[in-house]
Structure formats: structure tokens, C-alpha cells
Amino acid sequence: MKLKSPGMLEYFVLSQNLAIVMSNMLQFVVVVGKQRTDTVRACTGNKVFDEQVNAVKEKCLFLANSILEYVYLSSLQTKLHSSPLYTFCVMSGPLALLNLMELCEAEHDQLESVLLEDSVSDIVVGFLRLLANMLEDNSFYSLFSSNKEKIFVDIILILLRTTKKEQGWITTDPENFVHLALDTCDKQVSDICKTEAAKLLESLCDHIDGALSFIARFCCEAMSYACKESAPTDLVNYPTLAPFAASSFFLLKSSHELIIETCIVALTDVSYLTPKRNDVL
């Protein structure tokens, strides 16, 4: 979306009606069929209905993210906190966290197939991008600081895992596999769940105190646990992993090989920070 006119951008930022429409649309849920009450994504079981509703929700997120990204590059940033758009972010940030965690938990066994649905993956991308954009604003610091561990363990690591489709590329399309691996840990231009999760990981480490230290400890302990082919009951013997021993789908449902590989990807993604941080080397 190209907002060439400063006046148009200011209208979008200050429009009460636009913020209300986006908020209402994101929270719109029809509780029929298989629809879950703990998620805003349409999952009634009616494929046509679900795809159309989710497509509208994705457009709302795309619009909000586009406006935010322009605002942070303009003089309108000073007006953001008194705008309806800011109120939308205050509501949508916690909503994004809850819905991403719900998706990664409730659909864990079928997550890969669920994310193959464009209408669902687009919402996930929108929520991940919204969180990354909100991390640019220090007024949301407490939201991310208090949830940084859950964001990493319950969302980012789940979405960074190599899928079966990507594993197939190793033999059928190695060039594409390498391209995605490099993009995930570099510029994140692929506009998919995996690269947006990597972008959120970088933003978390850039803006939240203690995030990088926790991530480094968690990944190192998780790789040690996986390399020893330990049983899940041994997770309590690792100080950083112990609090997640009974709840982490990443630790409990991923193979040892996948745990090691995903942790390496996560550490590689934030490796640009390590030269400045001797304490995590």
C-alpha cells in the first residue's frame, strides 16, 4: 500500500471510524459449527465462509501494519499515542499474543497443514508483524517484557521449525531450501510465517532487556538436552527449561533433531548481537 499523501496518512492515523471498523472486524466471531471461542480466526468448518472472513481480518491487519510502518518513519509518530490507531494497538497486541499461542497449541499436531491455508497463514503473518511493529514503541514495553519467554518458547520456536515441505526441498529443490534458510536469518523478505517469526525474534532482542540472555540460555540447554537424547522427564534438570517442562509443545512434541536445528536457526538469527554481548558468548 502506497500512502504518498501526508494528509491521507494523517487521516488514517486519526480516523476513529477506521480504528473501530478494524477492531470490530478482528474480534468478529460467529460461534457455530467447529468455531473455537478462544480465537478470532474463523474456523467454523465452512471453508468458503472461513476463508472469506479470515481474508477480511488479514486486510485489517495489513492496513494497520502499513500505517504503523509509515508513521514510524514520519513526523506523525508524535501524534500516535493520542490517536485511535494507538487504541487499536492497545487492544490488538494482547489479542495477537493470545491468538498466536492458541494456534500453536490447539493446532500443534496439524499446524503445518493449517498454515498451508493462505487465509490462516496471512492472519498469522499479520499478527507477527503487528507485534514487531509495536516493539518499536516503548509504551508497549511492559507487554513484551512480561511475556518475552512465552513469546519465544510458545510462538517463535514453533514457527521457526523446519516443516516437512521444507525438508522435501533438500532433495527436490535445494536452491529454494538454502534461499529460505538464508532469508530467515538475514533480511526476512519472504513474507511467510517463518520469516516473520524470525523478524519478531530480532525485534524482541533489540528492544526488550533480558530477551537475548534468556534465548541464549534456553537454546543452549535445549540443544544439550536433545544431544543427550534425554527423556522429557529430564527437562527439570535444566534450570531454564524446567519451567516449561510440562507445557512447552516445542520441547515435548519436537524430535531431538528438530529441537537442535531450530535452536541453531534462532541463535543464528540473533548472532548479529553477540559481538556486543560477551555475556552470551
One domain for residues 180 and 252: yes
Distance of alpha carbon 163 from alpha carbon 181, whole angstroms: 12
Structural contact between residues 204 and 151, judged by C-beta atoms closer than 8 angstroms: yes
Alpha carbon distances (Å) from 134 to 54, 92, 142, 183, 238: 22, 10, 12, 22, 32
What is the reported pLDDT for 148?
A: 97
Do 171 and 34 reside in the same domain of the chain?
A: no
Same domain, 164 and 99: no
- Phi, psi values for residue 146, rounded to 5°: -80, -15
Q: Which of 146, 174, 202 is at the close of a domain?
A: 146
Alpha-carbon dihedral 121, 157, 253, 255, rounded to 10 degrees: 110
Chain position carrying cell 511492559 = 142
Query: The whole model's pTM is what?
Result: 0.91
High-pLDDT (> 90) share of the chain, %:
63
Domain extent, residue 122, equals 1-146
Same domain for 252 and 172: yes
Q: How confident is the model at residue 22 (pLDDT cuts 50, 70, 90)?
A: very high
235, 129: one domain: no
Query: Which of 97, 122, 146 delimits the end of a domain?
Result: 146
CB 83 within 8 A of CB 18: no
Helix (H) or strand (E) holding 62: helix 47-71
Give the amino acid at 129: R
Q: What whole-number distance in Å separates Cα of residue 45 and Cα of residue 131?
A: 28
Is the domain of 155 the same as that of 121?
A: no
- Over residues 84-108, the pLDDT tens digits come to 999 999 999 999 999 999 898 876 6
| Whole-angstrom distance, CA of residue 237 vs CA of residue 105 | 24
Q: Are residues 141 and 174 in the same domain?
A: no
Q: What is the pLDDT of residues 200-251, one digit of tens each?
A: 999 999 999 999 999 999 999 999 999 988 888 889 999 999 999 988 999 9
User: What span, in angstroms and rounded, lies between the C-alpha atoms of 245 and 241?
Assistant: 6
Same domain for 275 and 234, yes or no, is yes
CA atoms of 95 and 62, how far apart (whole Å): 16
- Does 175 share its domain with 215? yes
CB atoms closer than 10 angstroms to residue 38:
11
Nearest to 57 by CA among 77, 72, 43, 75: 43
**Total structural domains in the chain?**
2
Query: Following DSSP, what letter does each residue of 188-237 receive, concatenated?
Result: --S-SHHHHHHHHHHHHHHHSTTHHHHHHHHHHHHHHHHHTT--GGGGGG
Instruction: Identify the domain boundary among 146, 168, 197.
Output: 146
Whether residue 3 sits in one domain with residue 53 = yes
Co-location of 1 and 140 in the same domain: yes
Same domain, 91 and 128: yes
